[in-house]
Amino acid sequence: MLERRELFPSVIELNFQSRRRLGCCVYLIHSGAEWMLLDIGYEDTVEELVNLIRQMDFSLANCRYLVASHADADHVQGMHRAKQLLPGCQLIAHAEAKKILESGDRIAAFAEIPAQGISIAMPEFSVDAVVKDGDHLQIGQCSLEVWDTPGHAAGQLAIRFGTLLFSGDNIFRDGCVGGIDAHHGSDIPAFIESLKRIRDSDVEWLLPSHGPAFRNDRGLLQSAIDRLDKYQHMADFGTCALDWPLLDEWEDELARGILPS
Ligand SMILES: [Zn+2]
Protein backbone atom coordinates (compact mmCIF):
# COMPACT_ATOMS: atom_id res chain seq x y z
CA MET A 1 0.00 0.00 0.00
CA LEU A 2 1.15 3.47 -0.88
CA GLU A 3 1.46 5.90 2.00
CA ARG A 4 -1.41 8.42 2.02
CA ARG A 5 -0.05 11.97 2.01
CA GLU A 6 -2.90 13.87 3.57
CA LEU A 7 -3.04 17.60 2.96
CA PHE A 8 -5.47 17.93 5.87
CA PRO A 9 -7.15 15.17 7.86
CA SER A 10 -9.47 13.24 5.49
CA VAL A 11 -8.21 15.23 2.47
CA ILE A 12 -5.79 13.99 -0.18
CA GLU A 13 -4.91 16.03 -3.25
CA LEU A 14 -3.69 13.78 -6.03
CA ASN A 15 -1.03 16.11 -7.52
CA PHE A 16 0.40 16.49 -4.01
CA GLN A 17 0.11 12.76 -3.47
CA SER A 18 2.06 12.21 -6.73
CA ARG A 19 4.61 14.91 -5.89
CA ARG A 20 4.16 16.32 -9.39
CA ARG A 21 1.76 18.38 -11.41
CA LEU A 22 -0.68 16.24 -13.37
CA GLY A 23 -3.31 18.88 -14.08
CA CYS A 24 -5.96 20.65 -12.06
CA CYS A 25 -6.24 19.81 -8.38
CA VAL A 26 -8.09 16.57 -7.77
CA TYR A 27 -9.27 16.28 -4.18
CA LEU A 28 -10.13 12.98 -2.55
CA ILE A 29 -12.16 13.35 0.63
CA HIS A 30 -12.61 10.22 2.71
CA SER A 31 -14.22 9.05 5.92
CA GLY A 32 -14.48 5.45 7.06
CA ALA A 33 -14.58 3.35 3.92
CA GLU A 34 -16.29 6.00 1.81
CA TRP A 35 -14.69 8.61 -0.37
CA MET A 36 -15.44 11.12 -3.11
CA LEU A 37 -13.53 13.09 -5.71
CA LEU A 38 -13.81 16.77 -6.53
CA ASP A 39 -12.91 17.19 -10.23
CA ILE A 40 -10.91 14.66 -12.21
CA GLY A 41 -8.96 16.68 -14.80
CA TYR A 42 -8.12 15.61 -18.33
CA GLU A 43 -9.01 12.18 -19.64
CA ASP A 44 -5.42 11.11 -20.24
CA THR A 45 -4.55 11.20 -16.54
CA VAL A 46 -7.65 9.39 -15.25
CA GLU A 47 -6.18 5.89 -15.27
CA GLU A 48 -3.05 7.04 -13.49
CA LEU A 49 -5.15 8.80 -10.86
CA VAL A 50 -7.45 5.83 -10.33
CA ASN A 51 -4.43 3.52 -10.03
CA LEU A 52 -2.98 5.85 -7.45
CA ILE A 53 -6.23 5.75 -5.49
CA ARG A 54 -6.24 1.97 -5.64
CA GLN A 55 -2.63 1.84 -4.46
CA MET A 56 -3.59 3.98 -1.47
CA ASP A 57 -5.94 1.15 -0.59
CA PHE A 58 -9.25 2.84 -1.31
CA SER A 59 -11.87 0.46 -2.61
CA LEU A 60 -13.05 1.70 -6.00
CA ALA A 61 -16.52 0.42 -5.15
CA ASN A 62 -16.73 2.86 -2.23
CA CYS A 63 -16.47 6.05 -4.25
CA ARG A 64 -19.79 7.79 -3.59
CA TYR A 65 -19.48 10.99 -5.58
CA LEU A 66 -17.56 12.46 -8.43
CA VAL A 67 -18.23 16.19 -8.25
CA ALA A 68 -17.62 18.70 -11.03
CA SER A 69 -16.62 22.05 -9.53
CA HIS A 70 -17.77 23.51 -12.85
CA ALA A 71 -18.01 22.49 -16.50
CA ASP A 72 -14.55 23.50 -17.75
CA ALA A 73 -12.82 20.91 -19.90
CA ASP A 74 -9.63 20.93 -17.83
CA HIS A 75 -11.65 19.90 -14.77
CA VAL A 76 -14.12 17.41 -16.25
CA GLN A 77 -12.85 16.02 -19.55
CA GLY A 78 -12.02 12.78 -17.74
CA MET A 79 -15.45 12.34 -16.11
CA HIS A 80 -16.69 9.87 -18.71
CA ARG A 81 -13.62 7.64 -18.29
CA ALA A 82 -13.72 8.01 -14.50
CA LYS A 83 -17.33 6.87 -14.40
CA GLN A 84 -16.33 3.75 -16.36
CA LEU A 85 -13.68 2.95 -13.76
CA LEU A 86 -15.86 3.96 -10.81
CA PRO A 87 -19.32 2.79 -11.89
CA GLY A 88 -20.79 2.97 -8.40
CA CYS A 89 -20.28 6.71 -7.94
CA GLN A 90 -22.76 9.46 -8.65
CA LEU A 91 -21.73 12.28 -10.96
CA ILE A 92 -22.69 15.55 -9.29
CA ALA A 93 -22.78 19.09 -10.63
CA HIS A 94 -24.65 22.37 -10.34
CA ALA A 95 -27.70 22.62 -12.63
CA GLU A 96 -26.00 25.31 -14.75
CA ALA A 97 -22.93 23.14 -15.20
CA LYS A 98 -25.12 20.16 -16.05
CA LYS A 99 -26.76 22.27 -18.76
CA ILE A 100 -23.37 23.10 -20.29
CA LEU A 101 -22.11 19.53 -20.05
CA GLU A 102 -25.18 17.80 -21.39
CA SER A 103 -25.88 20.25 -24.19
CA GLY A 104 -22.32 19.88 -25.48
CA ASP A 105 -21.70 23.63 -25.16
CA ARG A 106 -18.04 23.49 -26.07
CA ILE A 107 -17.58 27.25 -25.98
CA ALA A 108 -18.85 27.61 -22.41
CA ALA A 109 -16.74 24.59 -21.38
CA PHE A 110 -13.52 26.16 -22.76
CA ALA A 111 -13.15 23.11 -25.04
CA GLU A 112 -13.37 25.25 -28.17
CA ILE A 113 -11.55 28.56 -28.56
CA PRO A 114 -11.45 28.95 -32.35
CA ALA A 115 -9.38 32.14 -32.37
CA GLN A 116 -6.59 30.33 -30.54
CA GLY A 117 -6.89 27.04 -32.42
CA ILE A 118 -7.97 25.29 -29.22
CA SER A 119 -10.31 22.40 -29.84
CA ILE A 120 -10.28 19.47 -27.48
CA ALA A 121 -12.55 16.47 -27.20
CA MET A 122 -15.27 16.50 -24.57
CA PRO A 123 -16.52 12.93 -24.13
CA GLU A 124 -20.20 13.08 -23.29
CA PHE A 125 -21.48 12.03 -19.92
CA SER A 126 -24.64 12.59 -18.00
CA VAL A 127 -24.86 14.15 -14.58
CA ASP A 128 -26.61 11.86 -12.09
CA ALA A 129 -27.68 14.51 -9.60
CA VAL A 130 -27.59 18.27 -9.27
CA VAL A 131 -26.77 20.16 -6.09
CA LYS A 132 -27.44 23.71 -5.03
CA ASP A 133 -26.34 26.11 -2.36
CA GLY A 134 -26.89 24.74 1.14
CA ASP A 135 -27.07 21.08 0.10
CA HIS A 136 -24.87 18.62 1.96
CA LEU A 137 -22.87 15.68 0.69
CA GLN A 138 -22.28 12.94 3.20
CA ILE A 139 -19.07 10.90 3.14
CA GLY A 140 -18.87 8.50 6.08
CA GLN A 141 -18.90 10.76 9.15
CA CYS A 142 -18.11 13.88 7.12
CA SER A 143 -20.74 16.35 6.00
CA LEU A 144 -19.74 18.70 3.22
CA GLU A 145 -21.68 21.86 2.50
CA VAL A 146 -22.27 22.99 -1.07
CA TRP A 147 -21.82 26.67 -1.94
CA ASP A 148 -22.86 28.29 -5.20
CA THR A 149 -20.02 30.55 -6.26
CA PRO A 150 -20.78 31.80 -9.77
CA GLY A 151 -18.61 34.39 -11.50
CA HIS A 152 -15.75 32.68 -13.28
CA ALA A 153 -18.33 30.29 -14.68
CA ALA A 154 -22.04 29.80 -14.22
CA GLY A 155 -22.70 26.85 -11.96
CA GLN A 156 -19.37 26.87 -10.16
CA LEU A 157 -19.47 25.10 -6.83
CA ALA A 158 -17.30 25.52 -3.79
CA ILE A 159 -17.51 22.94 -1.04
CA ARG A 160 -17.07 23.63 2.63
CA PHE A 161 -15.67 20.97 4.90
CA GLY A 162 -15.26 22.31 8.44
CA THR A 163 -12.61 25.02 8.33
CA LEU A 164 -11.65 24.13 4.77
CA LEU A 165 -13.19 25.46 1.58
CA PHE A 166 -12.61 23.69 -1.71
CA SER A 167 -12.73 26.98 -3.51
CA GLY A 168 -12.71 26.08 -7.21
CA ASP A 169 -11.46 28.77 -9.57
CA ASN A 170 -12.56 31.67 -7.36
CA ILE A 171 -9.11 32.72 -6.21
CA PHE A 172 -5.60 31.33 -6.24
CA ARG A 173 -2.65 31.79 -3.88
CA ASP A 174 -1.08 34.56 -5.97
CA GLY A 175 -4.32 36.57 -5.95
CA CYS A 176 -5.28 35.65 -9.54
CA VAL A 177 -8.89 34.69 -10.14
CA GLY A 178 -10.39 32.24 -12.64
CA GLY A 179 -10.47 33.57 -16.21
CA ILE A 180 -13.08 36.22 -17.03
CA ASP A 181 -14.55 35.56 -20.46
CA ALA A 182 -17.94 36.54 -21.79
CA HIS A 183 -18.24 33.43 -23.98
CA HIS A 184 -17.56 31.30 -20.94
CA GLY A 185 -20.48 32.77 -19.03
CA SER A 186 -18.35 34.85 -16.68
CA ASP A 187 -20.23 37.42 -14.62
CA ILE A 188 -18.15 40.01 -12.79
CA PRO A 189 -20.83 41.22 -10.29
CA ALA A 190 -21.56 37.59 -9.35
CA PHE A 191 -17.82 36.93 -9.10
CA ILE A 192 -17.43 39.81 -6.63
CA GLU A 193 -20.27 38.41 -4.48
CA SER A 194 -18.62 34.98 -4.45
CA LEU A 195 -15.28 36.50 -3.39
CA LYS A 196 -16.99 38.55 -0.67
CA ARG A 197 -18.65 35.44 0.67
CA ILE A 198 -15.28 33.72 0.95
CA ARG A 199 -13.69 36.84 2.46
CA ASP A 200 -16.41 37.18 5.10
CA SER A 201 -16.57 33.51 6.02
CA ASP A 202 -14.76 31.93 8.93
CA VAL A 203 -13.19 29.40 6.60
CA GLU A 204 -9.49 29.11 7.50
CA TRP A 205 -8.04 27.34 4.50
CA LEU A 206 -8.73 27.61 0.78
CA LEU A 207 -8.11 24.57 -1.38
CA PRO A 208 -8.30 25.89 -4.93
CA SER A 209 -8.70 23.91 -8.14
CA HIS A 210 -5.30 25.06 -9.41
CA GLY A 211 -2.11 25.46 -7.42
CA PRO A 212 -1.37 25.04 -3.74
CA ALA A 213 -3.73 25.37 -0.80
CA PHE A 214 -3.36 28.56 1.25
CA ARG A 215 -4.77 30.42 4.24
CA ASN A 216 -7.96 32.40 3.76
CA ASP A 217 -6.50 35.88 3.62
CA ARG A 218 -8.90 38.83 3.74
CA GLY A 219 -6.32 41.18 2.25
CA LEU A 220 -5.76 38.93 -0.74
CA LEU A 221 -9.51 38.56 -1.29
CA GLN A 222 -10.04 42.30 -0.91
CA SER A 223 -7.42 43.16 -3.51
CA ALA A 224 -9.06 40.76 -5.97
CA ILE A 225 -12.48 42.26 -5.19
CA ASP A 226 -11.10 45.79 -5.73
CA ARG A 227 -9.58 44.75 -9.06
CA LEU A 228 -12.81 43.14 -10.28
CA ASP A 229 -14.77 46.14 -9.06
CA LYS A 230 -12.66 48.31 -11.39
CA TYR A 231 -13.19 45.87 -14.27
CA GLN A 232 -16.93 46.53 -13.96
CA HIS A 233 -16.27 50.04 -15.26
CA MET A 234 -13.41 49.35 -17.68
CA ALA A 235 -13.22 48.08 -21.26
CA ASP A 236 -10.69 45.37 -20.39
CA PHE A 237 -13.23 42.54 -20.32
CA GLY A 238 -15.56 43.94 -22.96
CA THR A 239 -19.20 43.02 -22.52
CA CYS A 240 -18.51 41.70 -19.01
CA ALA A 241 -18.30 45.34 -17.86
CA LEU A 242 -21.37 47.15 -16.55
CA ASP A 243 -20.42 50.48 -18.07
CA TRP A 244 -17.51 52.49 -19.42
CA PRO A 245 -17.44 56.03 -18.02
CA LEU A 246 -14.94 57.20 -20.66
CA LEU A 247 -17.72 57.12 -23.24
CA ASP A 248 -19.83 59.49 -21.14
CA GLU A 249 -16.87 61.84 -20.77
CA TRP A 250 -16.30 61.67 -24.50
CA GLU A 251 -19.92 62.48 -25.24
CA ASP A 252 -19.65 65.54 -23.05
CA GLU A 253 -16.37 66.60 -24.66
CA LEU A 254 -17.80 66.09 -28.16
CA ALA A 255 -20.74 68.34 -27.32
CA ARG A 256 -18.40 71.02 -26.03
CA GLY A 257 -15.85 70.65 -28.83
CA ILE A 258 -12.94 69.95 -26.48
CA LEU A 259 -9.60 69.53 -28.30
CA PRO A 260 -6.85 67.12 -27.12
CA SER A 261 -4.70 68.67 -24.44
ZN1 LIG B 1 -10.00 25.91 -13.83
What is the Å distance from ligand 1's center to 184 Cα?
12
| Tens digits of pLDDT across the chain (261 residues) | 899 999 999 999 999 999 999 999 999 999 999 999 999 999 999 999 999 999 999 999 999 999 999 999 999 999 999 999 999 999 999 999 999 999 989 999 999 999 999 999 998 889 999 999 999 999 999 999 999 999 999 999 999 999 999 999 999 999 999 999 999 999 999 999 999 999 999 999 999 999 999 999 999 999 999 999 999 999 999 999 999 999 999 999 999 999 999
What is the Å distance from ligand 1's center to 261 Cα?
44
Bridge partners, residue 31, by sequence:
34
In the chain, the domains with their CATH numbers are 11-256 (3.60.15.10)
What is the Å distance from ligand 1's center to 69 Cα?
9
What is the Å distance from ligand 1's center to 24 Cα?
7
165's enclosing H/E stretch is strand 164-168
Give the tens place of pLDDT for each residue, 115-146: 999 999 998 889 999 999 999 999 999 999 99
Pairing, β 27-31 against β 34-38: antiparallel
What is the Å distance from ligand 1's center to 115 Cα?
20
| Helix and strand numbers, DSSP H then E, in the chain | 8, 14
What is the Å distance from ligand 1's center to 208 Cα?
9
What is the Å distance from ligand 1's center to 259 Cα?
46
DSSP secondary structure letters along 127-163: -SEEE-TT-EEEETTEEEEEEE--SSSTT-EEEEETT
